[in-house]
Structure 1
Amino acid sequence: MKHIVQTELRHMKDKWLSQKAEEIQGCADIHNSKCFYQAIRMLYGPQSAGTSPLLSIDGTKLITDKPGFLDRWADHFSSVLYRPSSVSNDAINRLPQIPINTALDDPPSATETLKAIKQMSTGKTPGANAIPAEIYKSAGPLMTQNLTKMFQAMWKMKPYHRT
């Protein structure tokens, strides 16, 4: 009897896992990330809120408090990110030098503004200014002129431009 119950439970679990796999695949196929991650969370259960202990740099002390964690991670990333360069100056000097593109220092032109407007994707959610690309594309030459003037005024305010 015990063997029959265990077999039945195993079949139920296999069926449930198979249905979950199909559900997750369906979410992935339609690019629904919210559905996908909800199904994954259902499969794996809630994440633990606890943290694992951490060893000190020399490996002799167990760190269990939050300030200690933060200090240890800061030490770790400092040692990883702020290493002295191992590239010699001779190797850097042998790299071919290309001329500086000074055209990038020029303020944006009406042609560049129009080109940027034409490259905007339609049918997408508007950006931070909440203006859809369709507005820019359908507004015409007056909009392009005004945008160009605005971009040029912004360019003049930047500290890195050349005058």
Structure 2
Amino acid sequence: MWKRSLLDVKVKRGADVGSDHHSTTADIKLKLRANGKNTRSWKQFDIEKLKESNVRKEYTTLIRNRFRILENLNDEDDTETTDDKWGEISEIFTKCAEESIGFKQKQKHKDWITPRTWDNIIIRRETKKKLNEAKSQRLKERYQLEHSQIHRNVNRMVRNDKRANMDSLAEKAEEAANKGEKGNLYKITKIICGKNTASSNIHVKDKLGNLLTSENEQEQRWTEHFSELLNRPTPTELPIIAENNNELEISIEPPEMNEIIPAIKSIRNGKSPGNDNLNAELFKLEPVIDWIMRQTTANTPRDIRWGTFTTLENLDFADDLAFI
């Protein structure tokens, strides 16, 4: 930034920042380099709502109804490719998730502050405005005394709200630990410890354990560490690895039902969605498994069929499906 980049400066005397200093704004002229557009502009679904029974039931009903419509369309059209079928399936998941689950909403900063505290913050802001606009010394002294009292009350209420929020987070962490929910426990622990953002303040020590404070010493220590780690001497004896002449039996046939169902159930929860913006939790519900079973057993040569009403026509082969 150069001296000529500063175009104008203004003092905001009415800003309520809880300090004796006034906020300032400045108009700065900068030349920025374009970094390209962000290709990912979609919103993520609020998967946490699937834990609610009414939302999960609504989503399940929508998925089941739309799959029945899709089955009727597939019976009429046999020229669809795999990509066309996946396009229809992903569209069904997306529309059902939009109607029943919805997207994640942007959370407010410091949402643990109660409405009563926010009302007092607004009163403090209005008192600060009156103090700045007062002309006589008598009014300034009165508003200053009033502002100081309200400011102490706001600080006390904010401390109480933060303490109550910490107690609530501790109870949620204890509950998550009892239920074995390690993901939620890790997130809550990060919030309590105040480690929501990555920190660049990394302590670097030398070989003797002394803390290095200057940047040059830290850079030299990093250089020394990686030089010793990567520059290894050539081994004197090379390992003898025998060639394996046995051919592996790898099936190139389409996946079977006993491979598809465990693959779907083994997908880990709590992961970011891919390019289709569909989370793993959306696929692991009962209607999805039911639809896959009906599709994979509809035309089997052993006369097995998973019907619309979830019945097996050949009960002698039911033991083979017990893993489901």
TM-score by length of 2: 0.24
**Higher share of residues assigned helix:** 1
Higher RCO (Cα < 8 Å, 6 or more apart)? 2
For normalisation by structure 1, the TM-score amounts to 0.39
